[in-house]
Structure formats: structure tokens, C-alpha cells
Structure 1
Amino acid sequence: MIHGFIQITDTHIVAPGTLVSGHSDTAQALRRAVETINAKLPLWEGIDCAIVTGDLTDHGTPEEYAHFLSIMDDLALPWIAIPGNHDQRAPMRAALSDAPWMPSTGPVHWVRDFGAFSVIGLDTLLEGAHHGMLCEEGMDFLDTTLTAIGDQPAIVATHHPFMHAGLPAMDADNLRNGAAMIARLGAHRGPVRMLSGHVHRAVTGQIGRVTCQIAPATCHAVLTDHRTGSAPQLVLEPGAVTVHRWLDQPGAGLVSEVIPTGLFPGPWPFEA
């Protein structure tokens, strides 16, 4: 049986009627993502839930979380989330206190068993900073979970990536103690992958035996600028979500597809 999930990341919801940086309508972008997912779900076999990998809001205020939830209420899937550097734990916890995966105190770590693999959500938020850190409690949670799942494949979901995307302004704000996480994943007996957000672009790399994958945002993208010393800038490229499905053929593994959000002409048969 096929199992999978949809990764939504960096929604950056602000107060109703407000644009991020005066240009990006993040609420409309998330609505478009939800509409796209709902429309395509009948075509995607085995999708169990959505995972939101951080930056649900832009400032972490109760008003922003309420706005985020009002849009996500229309999603035809259950969902789980971890915070990003634009989130705040206390307001996020208060807004999601009824969610079964939300811990009552401390960092927002969780694990979900999909049968063929497990996803381990890790909170890398360091409040007051743009870069990420996995706390000692998070390292312990990762160790305990990896031991518990044995040789089952492990997918770790974080907001901050550890791999560099080649964008100096974003790479400076990655997961600062990610080497310790990668070492733990590299020692795991089963296949491993690390999924992240934060960079607002689709980027894939490899660190040792760990495949590292950064997902694009639902809203604006970060300009691809590889020059040292350049400041980050946003561009209104199309938003996207990422569909992750575990396929058994030709070799068992997680297969990921970036899906642009919105309605497009078609579909039509290959031959008219």
C-alpha cells in the first residue's frame, strides 16, 4: 500500500488585508495552495496528511495564527506542523492546543509512523534569531526515536536546512548545529532523508548518506543570487507544494514531486 504526505512550507501568514514586505499576498497564496491540494487529492493515491515545515506566520502573533487556521480549515487533509524562525512557540501552542500532536510544554517535536517509514518533526526555532538550533532535548528526542524505529526508514522534517543552497544570505541562517543531527542520521540503520523549508526554493543535495531536500514556499520565492554579500530579496514566482510518496518499485524509497499551485489549462489526451 502506498503512503505519503504533502509538504507545505513558509506560508508567512500576516493579519488580514496585509502584504508581506508590501508585495506578497501570502493569505491568497495559501488559499491557492489549499484549493490546489483539494482539487488534486483524488489523483494522488495514498496521501495521509500534510506537514507544514515552519514559518506558518510572519510575526507569530495570535491574530496571524487565527488567520492561518481559518485558511487551513478548508484543507481536506489532517495536518501537522513544526515552527520556523518567524513563529513564536507560545502563541502557536495556544492556537493549536487541541491538536493531538502538539506537546503541552517545550519544543514542538513529534513523530508520525506511516508504516513503511516514519517522519520525525524537530523544532529548530531559536526565538529571537533567524538561524536555527536543535536543542539538547531535540537531540535526545531524535536519538530515542531512531532507536525505537530500528531499521525503519527515517524522514526528519525541520524548518532550517543544514545543507547549503548556494545562496549566501540564506545559508548564513541555516541549522547551526546540524552536523550533530546529520551524524545521528548517518548512523541510522535504515534509509534517511532530511526535509526542510526556510529557503523558499526547491533545492536538493547530499551530505554523506543523508539526502537533504529543501521545499519551495507557497508564497514568494527568495531571489536566486549566488553573489557573496548580497542581501536576500523576494520575488513573486509561482508558489508550490511538495508531494512525497513512498513507492516500492523499482526500489523502495520516498519519491518527491514539486507541484505548482493554481489552476492551469488541461488536461488533454497526448494525442488529439
Structure 2
Amino acid sequence: MGGRRTDPKAEALHESRTLNPRPESVTDARFTDSEFFDSRDLMQVKYEMVRRVEVDGQPVATAAAAFGFSRQTYYQTAAALAEGGPAALVPSKPGPKGPRKLTSEIVDHLEALLAADPALRSSALADLIHERFGTRVHPRSIERALTRRRDEPKERPKSSPDIPAHSADTAARYEQLRAAVLSGDVEGWRRGWGVLARRGMAAWMSVQHQISVAQQQKPENHPASSKAAPSGQAAELVRVLAGMALAALRPEHDQPPRDQGEDCEHQRRQHGGQGHPRAPAA
């Protein structure tokens, strides 16, 4: 017996740590109606969840439930997207287990979460930090770290995570790809739709900046409305249909003359099959 067949896209998503463990929990209409969206792609699911709120105006609780997340996870995702763009939606590798777990980047992220939702408790923050950074932190440690941050001099320059220089450009390119595919424009393939469909959003993000502007723009000498000329049987069919149409539209006086045999046959049918009428006797 052969081995169990594997799904190449699921393998690619697992390799990039973006395989959604609960794809069945995504009930958003887009993910059930369009092949562009894949509920297994955790990165795309989270991006579209935030987009539902910030672009489409859907309530946070409604969007979070439709994408299979809690409100706390939504706020964490929105903060990560605002800080680092789509690249920040890729879960980090498990961090070190040493005593220094709450780095400046994590504390910055905690403050961003609290700014978005001040009602978050330290236990919920600990869960969100583990989900985002792969680091287990005790809630009491979070409280002490936030207290130390508040007690530090205000003039201290606040550290911030490294934001990829092309993060905003990545989001813009994804929006362009999204619009092209959903509208049925072939431009979607030039923008990397094949990579996203086969390997997921993380794989697409790693190569999208390599797509040249020339590949993304349509040549001026080849408008989208122009089509290639038919060939083979298709071309022959076009010629036959065109000939029939022209013959039907041609005025009667422009029709080619019939030969004498056709004229005799025409006259015989008009006179009941008796041939030419006899001339009257003199």
C-alpha cells in the first residue's frame, strides 16, 4: 500500500508556522464563498479579521467570532499589524526559557495591547504573549514589568520592534492582489496569486517584493481588451460564419450571377417542370 498522501499547501503553512489549527471555526462569508481565501492560512485569516473591522466597519466582537478568535486575540493581532505590518502576523519561534523573558519589545507590545483594550487582565496578557512570542510569562511578572516601565523617566527613548522597511508596501501589494483576483483580472497572476494559492500568505510575502514593477504593469501596446487571433478549427469556424453573415447582408444586385444551368432549372420549376414555354404560332 502506498503512503498517505499529503497536502503540499498544508505542509508549506506548517513550515512557516501559519497553519491554522482550527480552520473549521472560520465562518466569515468571504472564506466560504471565494477560493482566494483559505481558512487554513492563519496569517491571511488574521489579516482579514482586522480588515473586517478597520475597513468594513464590522464590530470587534462580531469579526472575532466569525474568524474563530477571542476579542483579546483580535486586539493583539491589530496591535501587531499596526506595529510591524503583515510580517508581524507570523508567529515567532519559541523563545528562550531563561530568566530574561520580558524584553523591551514584549513590554512595548504589552503597552500596545493595553492601549487598545485597557480591560485586559494580566492573565489574558500572559496568554497573548505566549501566542505572539512563544514565551511563557507569569502574570505577576507582567505586572512588575509594566510597573517598572511606568516608573522609568519619561525622557527615556522608548524602544520599538524592528519594523520591516517594506511592511506598508507589503500590505499595499496584498490589497492590489486581493482586488485583482476578486475582480477576475488576470493581473492577479502577475502579482503572485499562484504562490499565495499554493503555499500561503507567508510564502507569498517572502517573494512579493521581488516582483518587478514592469511585471505588474500592463504594456501600453497590449491593452487588456485585445485578444489573440483564433487559429486552427476555431479560425476556420470564424471564417465560415463571417462568410455566411456577409452573404446574408449583401444586396441582391451585388449577388454573383448564376450560370445558365441554374437559370434553366429556375425557369423549369416556375412552369411546373415543363421546360421553356412554347412560342406562339405565327
Looking at secondary structure, tell me which structure has more helix per residue.
2
Q: Which has the higher strand share?
A: 1
* Same topology, TM > 0.5: no
Larger Rg: 1 or 2? 2
TM-score when scaled to structure 1? 0.29
> Comparing both chains, which one has the higher relative contact order based on Cα–Cα distances under 8 Å and sequence gaps of 6 or more?
1
